[in-house]
Amino acid sequence: DLIGNALLASHIGRVSDGRYRCVLPQNMEQTSARAVRVRNQDLATLLKCDLAIFNFDGVELDSGTVVEFMYAKMLDIPCLVLRSDFRRSGDQGAGERTRDRESDDWNLMASFYPRTRKLQFDAMEWYQEERARGDGLEALTERLYRRIASAVVTELDAVRAEQPLLQGSRADAERIYLWALRFPGSGLDQLVPDPGEIVAGKAAKGLLGLTI
Protein backbone atom coordinates (compact mmCIF):
# COMPACT_ATOMS: atom_id res chain seq x y z
CA ASP A 1 0.00 0.00 0.00
CA LEU A 2 2.06 2.93 -1.30
CA ILE A 3 -0.21 5.65 0.08
CA GLY A 4 -0.49 3.84 3.41
CA ASN A 5 3.29 3.66 3.70
CA ALA A 6 3.62 7.35 2.91
CA LEU A 7 0.94 8.31 5.43
CA LEU A 8 2.54 6.24 8.18
CA ALA A 9 5.99 7.67 7.43
CA SER A 10 4.60 11.20 7.63
CA HIS A 11 2.87 10.52 10.94
CA ILE A 12 5.98 8.89 12.42
CA GLY A 13 7.92 12.06 11.65
CA ARG A 14 5.25 14.26 13.22
CA VAL A 15 4.65 12.11 16.31
CA SER A 16 8.39 11.89 16.99
CA ASP A 17 8.82 15.66 16.48
CA GLY A 18 11.21 14.93 13.63
CA ARG A 19 13.37 12.52 15.60
CA TYR A 20 12.65 9.76 13.08
CA ARG A 21 12.64 10.44 9.35
CA CYS A 22 11.51 7.49 7.25
CA VAL A 23 13.15 6.61 3.95
CA LEU A 24 10.65 4.73 1.79
CA PRO A 25 11.94 2.33 -0.90
CA GLN A 26 8.95 3.28 -3.06
CA ASN A 27 10.31 6.82 -3.29
CA MET A 28 13.58 5.57 -4.76
CA GLU A 29 12.64 2.74 -7.10
CA GLN A 30 12.08 3.42 -10.79
CA THR A 31 9.84 1.05 -12.72
CA SER A 32 12.15 1.33 -15.73
CA ALA A 33 15.32 0.50 -13.77
CA ARG A 34 17.10 -2.83 -14.15
CA ALA A 35 16.37 -5.34 -11.39
CA VAL A 36 19.96 -5.34 -10.13
CA ARG A 37 19.91 -1.55 -9.86
CA VAL A 38 16.75 -1.65 -7.75
CA ARG A 39 18.25 -4.32 -5.49
CA ASN A 40 21.53 -2.46 -5.06
CA GLN A 41 19.77 0.81 -4.33
CA ASP A 42 17.61 -0.83 -1.65
CA LEU A 43 20.56 -2.52 0.06
CA ALA A 44 22.78 0.57 -0.08
CA THR A 45 20.04 2.70 1.44
CA LEU A 46 19.38 0.14 4.16
CA LEU A 47 23.06 0.00 5.06
CA LYS A 48 23.03 3.76 5.63
CA CYS A 49 19.94 3.73 7.87
CA ASP A 50 20.19 4.11 11.64
CA LEU A 51 17.14 1.92 12.29
CA ALA A 52 14.80 -0.14 10.11
CA ILE A 53 11.10 -1.03 10.07
CA PHE A 54 9.94 -4.18 8.30
CA ASN A 55 6.37 -5.16 7.40
CA PHE A 56 5.84 -8.82 8.27
CA ASP A 57 2.21 -9.09 7.14
CA GLY A 58 0.87 -12.07 5.22
CA VAL A 59 0.51 -15.82 5.66
CA GLU A 60 3.94 -16.11 4.03
CA LEU A 61 6.48 -13.33 4.48
CA ASP A 62 7.62 -11.45 1.41
CA SER A 63 10.96 -12.97 0.40
CA GLY A 64 12.54 -9.62 -0.44
CA THR A 65 11.60 -8.27 2.98
CA VAL A 66 13.23 -11.26 4.67
CA VAL A 67 16.46 -10.75 2.70
CA GLU A 68 16.53 -7.08 3.70
CA PHE A 69 15.80 -7.96 7.34
CA MET A 70 18.70 -10.42 7.48
CA TYR A 71 20.98 -7.88 5.80
CA ALA A 72 20.06 -5.38 8.52
CA LYS A 73 20.74 -7.94 11.25
CA MET A 74 24.18 -8.69 9.79
CA LEU A 75 24.96 -4.99 10.22
CA ASP A 76 23.52 -4.85 13.77
CA ILE A 77 20.88 -2.32 12.72
CA PRO A 78 18.12 -1.98 15.36
CA CYS A 79 14.90 -3.24 13.77
CA LEU A 80 11.17 -3.03 14.36
CA VAL A 81 9.00 -5.76 12.89
CA LEU A 82 5.49 -4.48 12.18
CA ARG A 83 2.58 -6.91 11.76
CA SER A 84 -1.01 -5.70 11.41
CA ASP A 85 -2.39 -8.98 10.05
CA PHE A 86 -5.08 -10.74 12.10
CA ARG A 87 -4.27 -14.10 10.48
CA ARG A 88 -2.24 -16.70 12.35
CA SER A 89 0.50 -18.52 10.50
CA GLY A 90 4.09 -19.68 10.82
CA ASP A 91 5.60 -22.81 12.34
CA GLN A 92 6.26 -21.72 15.92
CA GLY A 93 3.19 -23.24 17.55
CA ALA A 94 0.19 -21.46 19.05
CA GLY A 95 0.81 -20.34 22.59
CA GLU A 96 4.43 -21.52 22.65
CA ARG A 97 6.65 -19.22 24.65
CA THR A 98 10.33 -18.75 23.90
CA ARG A 99 12.74 -16.26 25.46
CA ASP A 100 9.94 -15.08 27.73
CA ARG A 101 7.68 -13.95 24.94
CA GLU A 102 4.91 -15.33 22.79
CA SER A 103 5.73 -17.12 19.56
CA ASP A 104 5.66 -15.18 16.30
CA ASP A 105 3.19 -15.64 13.45
CA TRP A 106 5.84 -16.33 10.83
CA ASN A 107 8.64 -18.77 10.06
CA LEU A 108 10.90 -19.33 13.05
CA MET A 109 14.04 -18.60 11.01
CA ALA A 110 13.04 -14.92 10.98
CA SER A 111 12.71 -14.74 14.79
CA PHE A 112 14.87 -14.46 17.92
CA TYR A 113 17.36 -11.87 16.66
CA PRO A 114 18.77 -9.29 19.09
CA ARG A 115 18.07 -5.58 18.80
CA THR A 116 14.72 -6.44 17.25
CA ARG A 117 11.28 -5.55 18.58
CA LYS A 118 7.83 -6.54 17.40
CA LEU A 119 4.71 -4.38 17.12
CA GLN A 120 1.74 -6.62 16.38
CA PHE A 121 -1.88 -5.49 16.29
CA ASP A 122 -5.14 -6.28 14.52
CA ALA A 123 -5.53 -3.56 11.89
CA MET A 124 -9.17 -4.47 11.29
CA GLU A 125 -9.96 -4.12 14.98
CA TRP A 126 -8.22 -0.75 15.23
CA TYR A 127 -10.00 0.44 12.09
CA GLN A 128 -13.41 -0.53 13.44
CA GLU A 129 -12.69 1.15 16.78
CA GLU A 130 -11.82 4.44 15.08
CA ARG A 131 -14.65 4.13 12.54
CA ALA A 132 -17.20 3.77 15.35
CA ARG A 133 -16.69 7.42 16.26
CA GLY A 134 -18.51 8.28 13.03
CA ASP A 135 -16.84 11.59 12.17
CA GLY A 136 -15.84 10.86 8.59
CA LEU A 137 -13.06 9.20 6.64
CA GLU A 138 -10.53 12.03 6.91
CA ALA A 139 -10.74 12.17 10.71
CA LEU A 140 -10.68 8.36 10.91
CA THR A 141 -7.54 8.18 8.77
CA GLU A 142 -5.79 10.82 10.86
CA ARG A 143 -6.57 9.08 14.15
CA LEU A 144 -5.71 5.59 12.91
CA TYR A 145 -2.34 6.54 11.45
CA ARG A 146 -1.48 8.66 14.47
CA ARG A 147 -2.31 5.71 16.71
CA ILE A 148 -0.08 3.36 14.72
CA ALA A 149 2.70 5.94 14.50
CA SER A 150 2.63 6.54 18.26
CA ALA A 151 3.06 2.81 18.88
CA VAL A 152 5.86 2.64 16.32
CA VAL A 153 7.75 5.55 17.89
CA THR A 154 7.52 3.94 21.33
CA GLU A 155 9.06 0.74 19.96
CA LEU A 156 11.74 2.59 18.00
CA ASP A 157 12.77 4.43 21.14
CA ALA A 158 13.02 1.11 22.97
CA VAL A 159 15.04 -0.76 20.35
CA ARG A 160 17.24 2.28 19.81
CA ALA A 161 18.23 2.10 23.50
CA GLU A 162 19.33 -1.55 23.37
CA GLN A 163 23.03 -2.27 23.68
CA PRO A 164 24.88 -2.65 20.36
CA LEU A 165 26.27 -6.08 19.55
CA LEU A 166 28.87 -4.75 17.14
CA GLN A 167 31.78 -3.92 19.45
CA GLY A 168 35.46 -3.32 18.86
CA SER A 169 37.37 -0.76 16.87
CA ARG A 170 36.13 1.43 14.07
CA ALA A 171 38.37 -0.57 11.73
CA ASP A 172 36.57 -3.78 12.76
CA ALA A 173 33.19 -2.26 11.94
CA GLU A 174 34.43 -0.88 8.64
CA ARG A 175 35.56 -4.36 7.60
CA ILE A 176 32.09 -5.73 8.32
CA TYR A 177 30.45 -2.94 6.35
CA LEU A 178 32.87 -3.45 3.46
CA TRP A 179 32.02 -7.14 3.37
CA ALA A 180 28.30 -6.32 3.43
CA LEU A 181 28.87 -4.22 0.31
CA ARG A 182 31.03 -6.81 -1.44
CA PHE A 183 29.37 -10.17 -0.87
CA PRO A 184 26.13 -9.35 -2.77
CA GLY A 185 28.24 -8.54 -5.85
CA SER A 186 26.83 -6.90 -8.99
CA GLY A 187 28.25 -3.46 -8.26
CA LEU A 188 26.71 -2.77 -4.86
CA ASP A 189 30.05 -1.61 -3.44
CA GLN A 190 30.23 1.14 -6.08
CA LEU A 191 27.19 2.87 -4.56
CA VAL A 192 28.86 3.41 -1.18
CA PRO A 193 32.48 4.43 -1.81
CA ASP A 194 33.22 5.35 1.83
CA PRO A 195 31.46 3.09 4.36
CA GLY A 196 33.82 4.42 7.02
CA GLU A 197 31.89 7.67 7.04
CA ILE A 198 28.66 5.76 7.71
CA VAL A 199 30.29 3.77 10.52
CA ALA A 200 31.62 6.94 12.12
CA GLY A 201 28.21 8.59 11.99
CA LYS A 202 26.47 5.62 13.61
CA ALA A 203 29.15 5.31 16.28
CA ALA A 204 28.74 8.98 17.15
CA LYS A 205 25.03 8.34 17.77
CA GLY A 206 25.75 5.36 20.01
CA LEU A 207 24.34 2.88 17.49
CA LEU A 208 27.62 0.97 17.31
CA GLY A 209 29.68 0.12 20.39
CA LEU A 210 33.05 1.12 19.04
CA THR A 211 36.32 2.26 20.52
CA ILE A 212 38.59 4.66 18.68
First to last CA, the chain: 43
**Claim to verify: residue 132 and residue 196 sit in the same structural domain:** no
Cα–Cα distance, 113 to 19 (Å, whole number):
25
CB distance 114 to 162 below 8 Å: yes
Residue 1: the pLDDT is 81
Residue 31: the pLDDT is 64
Q: What is the CATH number of the domain that holds 40?
A: 3.40.50
Ranges of residues in the chain with a pLDDT under 70 are 29-32, 88-91, 93-102, 212
**Claim to verify: residue 93 and residue 182 sit in the same structural domain:** no
Could you list the residue range(s) of the whole structural domain that residue 143 is in? 2-162
**Claim to verify: residue 158 and residue 176 sit in the same structural domain:** no
Residue 88: the pLDDT is 67
The total domain count for the chain is 2
- CA 88 to chain centroid, in Å, comes to 21
**Claim to verify: residue 176 and residue 157 sit in the same structural domain:** no
**Claim to verify: residue 178 and residue 142 sit in the same structural domain:** no
**Claim to verify: residue 176 and residue 189 sit in the same structural domain:** yes
For the CA atoms of 72, 39, 108, 163, what is the dihedral angle to 10 degrees? Answer: 0
Give the tens place of pLDDT for each residue, 39-72.
999 999 999 999 999 999 988 999 999 999 999 9
Size (the chain), residues:
212
**Claim to verify: residue 30 and residue 101 sit in the same structural domain:** yes
**Claim to verify: residue 155 and residue 171 sit in the same structural domain:** no
Residue 33: the pLDDT is 73
Cα–Cα distance, 15 to 149 (Å, whole number):
7
**Claim to verify: residue 77 and residue 171 sit in the same structural domain:** no
Cα–Cα distance, 82 to 80 (Å, whole number):
6
CB distance 115 to 165 below 8 Å: yes
Residue 89: the pLDDT is 65
**Claim to verify: residue 175 and residue 90 sit in the same structural domain:** no
**Claim to verify: residue 193 and residue 98 sit in the same structural domain:** no
CB distance 163 to 149 below 8 Å: no
**Claim to verify: residue 141 and residue 184 sit in the same structural domain:** no
Residue 71: the pLDDT is 99
